[in-house]
Amino acid sequence: MLEVDVPVLGLRGVTDVHIDLLRVAEPHPAYLQSSPEYFMKRLLAAGSGSIYCLGKAFRAGELGKRHSPEFTMLEWYRVGWDEHRLMDEVFDLLTDVGLAKEQAKCSAYSYRHIFEEKTGIDPLVCEILSLQRLASEVANRDFSGEHRSVCLDLIFSLLVEPTLPGGVVFVHDYPACQAALAEIKVDADGVAIARRFEIFCDGIELGNGYYELTDARELRERFSADNTQRQKMGKELVDADEKLLAAMAAGLPSCAGVALGVDRLLMNILGAQHIREVLSFTDDFANYICGK
């Protein structure tokens, strides 16, 4: 696999409603990248083959025990692989660094199974009103007007994540409304699901992976839907990355990709309770850029 070096500053950022971007105003408006994904996909479309990148990523408003606005990310793409084969490789990596040494194999659950087991609600087919009521109950505030994806995120983080078993856990086959940049397929029950997975270790999310969407037209529609939702949430609109769309239209190969938070990985390995314990520099810059 080839290591690549990509820019951390770009004219476009992600439209994902759950990610707040750090903007640089001078000398020209630009964004510190929240991941190397867009640049890496342009390389994949240009024929790079399987690639990886280890470097810095940036997200606004993320400051806490497990979050830093500047953090280290390991992201890689395997051409010709599906998400399940990539999950196996992720588990092998976690085994090599000692996180899965006591397990014969990883625990893996479909999102639908574990969500319904913990809440009694089928997240793929239930009415939005049921999700809004449950989200309002667990958050102790009104979620009656929130998007399905927002309600699912909240419920999963408060009711499902804390109950995940110890060790390495994979959750896969997410609801279609949470596809992000993953391919959507119809499962054996005739329900649309996203070919996406997340990795947890002892209840802490370590990473996110997809069997990647390759349809440029569908990607443009998702960018537009994201901005519609961002507007409803009072967030900054982000222009679609036309260079990424052009690269995908030219031909992004069938591939699976995953991104791991290296700082959180180190926290798990060392038993650290705060991300500052694994950062070399913990000065006032993080507080400054988060407006603290």
Given a cut of 50, whether residue 248 has pLDDT beyond it is yes
Q: Summarize pLDDT for 76-94 with one digit per residue, the tens.
A: 999 999 999 999 999 999 9
Q: Summarize pLDDT for 28-60 with one digit per residue, the tens.
A: 779 999 999 999 999 999 999 999 999 999 998
Residue written as tokens 């997340």? Answer: 198
Given a cut of 70, whether residue 227 has pLDDT beyond it is yes
Query: What domains can you pick out in the chain, each with its CATH number?
Result: 2-289 (3.30.930.10)
> Which pLDDT value is given to residue 290?
46
Given a cut of 90, whether residue 274 has pLDDT beyond it is no
> Which pLDDT value is given to residue 289?
46
CB 250 within 8 A of CB 45: yes
Whole-number average pLDDT of the chain:
90
The CA distance from 257 to 263, in Å, is 19
Calculate the alpha carbon distances from 290 to 32, 50, 65, 69, 236 in Å: 14, 35, 14, 8, 16
> Which pLDDT value is given to residue 68?
87
Q: What beta strand segments (E) does 176-239 contain?
A: 184-186, 192-201, 204-211
Confidence of residue 101 (pLDDT cuts 50, 70, 90): low
Residue written as tokens 């591939």? Answer: 255
- The region of weakest confidence among 3-7, 45-49, 99-103, 245-249 is 99-103
> Which pLDDT value is given to residue 62?
63
Dihedral sign for Cα atoms in the order 56, 61, 65, 66: negative
Q: Summarize pLDDT for 1-13 with one digit per residue, the tens.
A: 999 999 999 999 9
The CA distance from 83 to 211, in Å, is 5
pTM over 0.85? The answer is yes
> Which pLDDT value is given to residue 292?
45
Which residue type, as a one-letter code, is found at position 196? R
Q: Summarize pLDDT for 192-215 with one digit per residue, the tens.
A: 999 999 999 888 899 999 999 999
Q: Which two tokens stand for residue 127?
A: 């009415």
Q: Summarize pLDDT for 141-195 with one digit per residue, the tens.
A: 998 888 899 899 999 999 999 999 888 999 999 999 999 999 999 988 899 999 9
What's the mean pLDDT in 256-275?
A: 92
Q: Which two tokens stand for residue 7?
A: 């820019």
Q: Summarize pLDDT for 136-156 with one digit per residue, the tens.
A: 999 999 988 888 998 999 999
* HSE value, Cβ hemisphere, 13 Å, CA-based, for 263: 23
Phi-psi region of 130 (alpha: psi -120 to 50; beta: other; left: phi over 0): alpha
Q: Which two tokens stand for residue 36?
A: 């190397």
Give 40 or 283, the one with higher predicted confidence.
Answer: 40
